[in-house]
Structures are given as C-alpha cells and as structure tokens.
Chains A and B, each alone.
Chain A
Amino acid sequence: MTLPPSSEKPPSGPGALVTMDPPIREASNKSLEDLFSMDPMNMQEQDIVAIVDKLRDQRKSFLLEEETAKAAPKGKKIAADPNLTLDSLDIKF
C-alpha cells in the first residue's frame, strides 16, 4: 500500500537539514482482528503501518458520514389537511 507523502512542511531556513521524501510505507495485508491478536514483540513495521492506515480509513468513512448527515436536507413537517376524511384513505374491506 502506498500512501501519499506526508503533508508536514520540511524544515526550512538557515541551518535546516536537507530532507528527503519519506520512504514509501509498506503495510501488511493482515486484518485488524489478526493484527490486534498478535504479540507486539513479533510485529513488524508494516503491521503497525497497517493498523494506522486501517484506522485512518475508518475515520475517513466516519467523517464522510457525519458530513453527509449534516448536509442532508431536513424533512419538512407537512401540515395536516383539515379536509381529510376517512374516505380519503381509500381503505377497502
């Protein structure tokens, strides 16, 4: 899995170190359930990357859902029709 480069600004100004682009991160393809069952001592860097990536994906989905819910038009309350009678319901027995 390749992630976009970090949006962090590199140090600048006098004396700043010359930095290179962050290395491409490799994430393991284990499921979150498998990753959370592992002994952390046996975890490789790509396992940690996978946890972070998968949790970030969940956050993106959550934020999108929140946005969608906020943007959704609120249903207008319809005033009751004072002329409505039982016959208007067209119920057949």
Chain B
Amino acid sequence: MNDIVDYSSGRLSFSKKWPNLQLAWDSVSLGLLKECPRKYQYSILMGYFPRAENVHLTFGLHYHKILEFYDHKRAEGMGYEEAVLATVRFGMEVTWDKELRRPWFSDMKEKNRFTLIRTIVWYLDEFKEDQMKTIVLANGKPAVELSFRYELGWTSFTEEPFLAAGHMDRMAVHQDTDETWVLDRKTTKHALDQKYFAQYRPDSQMSGYTVGGRVIYNVPVKGVMIDATQILVTLSRFSRQPTLRTDGEINEWLHDFQYYTLLAQGFAKQDYWPMNDKSCGNYGGCPYRGICSKDPKVRLQWLKGDMGKRSWDPLVIRGDI
C-alpha cells in the first residue's frame, strides 16, 4: 500500500483509511466506473479532464443557474414580469466575461449565449402558469438545487459507510394531483419524442433522485419529471414526461449499486482500474482514447501534457450552481 499514489487526499467523498477508495458516489462517478474503470481513474480519481471547454456542460450550468435564480425570485414573492426581467439581466451578466470584456463565446450554433437567453424567456413564458408548484422548505427557501446524500446501508472493507449523493434541480407538487415530483431539467438538440424520454428508464441518476427524494425529504416522491428542452438554431421546444420507478426497480438498482461498490473496492485494493476498450467509441469517442492508445509507460506524461486538472467531489455542496 505504501507505493500507491493517493490521488484522493482531502476529498470528502473518499476513504480516510484507504487511498483512492471512493465512498460517496454520484451518478457521474458511478456512470464513469460502469462505462470504463480506466476512464473513471483518469477523470474522477486523478482529476484529468479535457482542456477544451465542453459547450454542453457550460450551457447546462448557465441554464440551471439562471432558472434557479428565477425560482428564488418567485419564492421571494416577486411578480412574474419583474422576475423575468431580473432573470434575463442575471443571465446576461453571468454569460459576460468581465475580465475579457466580451460575452461567453460558443462556436456551437445550437448552444450559445443567444439561444440560452432565448430559451430562458421562452421557457418562462411556456410555464408561466406552472402546475408544478415548487416546495418551500422549512427554512423558507424554495426546494431548488438541492444537494442530497444518504447512506446506502452497506460498508466498505475499511468499515466506512457507502453513500449516494447528488444534486436535484427542483422538488414540486402538482397542483391538481398533490403528487410530489423531482423535476430535472435537461437540454438537448434531439426531438422530444418517446425515444428521447425512454433513455431515462433505466437510468441511475433518475433512480438516485427517486430514492433521494423519498429518503432525504421524507415525502412520497412519485418519481422524476423530466423537464426537457429541445434547442435548435431558431427555436426551443419544451416537454415534460414522468419517469417512474417501482419498488422492485429501486431494490434492483440498490442491489446493482452494491455490486459496483464491491468492484470499486477491488480496484482500489489492487490499485488497478482496467480498461474497457469496448466503450472507446461511445458518445462520439472517449476523450481519453488518445491517452489509452499510447504505451502505458508514457501515459502519465501525456495526461499531464494534454489534459487540464479539475477535482470532482460529490459531497461538495453545489452552492454556486
């Protein structure tokens, strides 16, 4: 164990007793482990990420942050029109680079500053009379951008508990049915048809939200409402569809989760995360393919040279998003 390089030091989600053993898992880290343990090692564990900006990620972060701002303003009692104007001003400000004195630049014609602000205005008008009423928490704050964590009920070989963690966009009650839902906002360029919504069942993130809502907020969460937006160059379309989980599906998800944490323990014990070379071509090609195609002796040098560094910790509360 002495010659294991500990990449996890200081991160809350990792074991204090064994290097590189992750104990708190979110859908991102679990997804990467499932997809390719080596990809998980390079990204989550070692913190190497492509330097080039991921436009989808930046757009998604802005989109969530701006709508969260609107939710707060409405919860504070601000009227609709005033809140829309304040939200658009906020959106223009957060997408302005003060140092460079220029707007956020994206070379993607579907996802850029203009389509972002357009989508915000269209979304707010589309759901002006929103049937999904945001829950107001006991502290008076709206239930938006909620960080959650819960113990999974099993422990590691170091006798530390495993946890599930994540961030929910919004919890709301349907005004007619009184059902409680987790709302998750998604943006895509694809059509919002049945094929699009089918991708969320099975889906680890949505299963985690369903359990999270039930466990943490102690309310009978019906499921997750996918609050989807299709963004094209000249238009934005909106559609909401529920994704439900039976108790059997939830139990299966937890059971599978336990198996994956067993695997993760094995990898951490061996200090070895094997490559899954069948997933290199997925999603338009793995960003680490160029690294994995080098001789193992020189990969670290290539990682250091080609990639940027970013720390991922599911237990860090996302106050800034």
Which A positions have Cβ atoms within 8 angstroms of B? Answer: 6, 8, 22, 32, 36-37, 39-41, 43, 45, 48-49, 51-52, 55-56, 58-59, 62
Contacts and interface: CB of A to CB of B under 8 A. Distances in A.
Given A37-B103, A40-B89, A22 B121 contact: no
A22 B83 CA distance: 13
Given A51-B117, A62-B235, A43 B103 contact: no
Contact of B92 (A8, A22, A40, A49): A40
Given A6-B79, A22-B81, A59-B121, A36 B88 contact: no
Given A39-B96, A62-B235, A51 B80 contact: no
Interface residues of B, number: 21
Given A43-B89, A43-B92, A51-B117, A8 B81 contact: yes
- The 9 A-B residue pairs whose C-beta atoms are closest, nearest first, are A40-B92, A55-B121, A40-B93, A59-B122, A48-B89, A6-B81, A55-B118, A40-B96, A62-B235
| Chain B facing A: main interface SS | helix
B79 A58 contact: no
A36 B85 contact: no
Given A43-B89, A56-B121, A62-B235, A36 B113 contact: yes
22 contacts: A6-B80, A6-B81, A8-B79, A8-B80, A8-B81, A36-B114, A37-B103, A39-B96, A40-B93, A40-B96, A41-B93, A43-B89, A43-B92, A49-B85, A51-B92, A51-B121, A52-B121, A55-B121, A55-B122, A56-B121, A56-B125, A62-B235
A40 B79 CA distance: 22
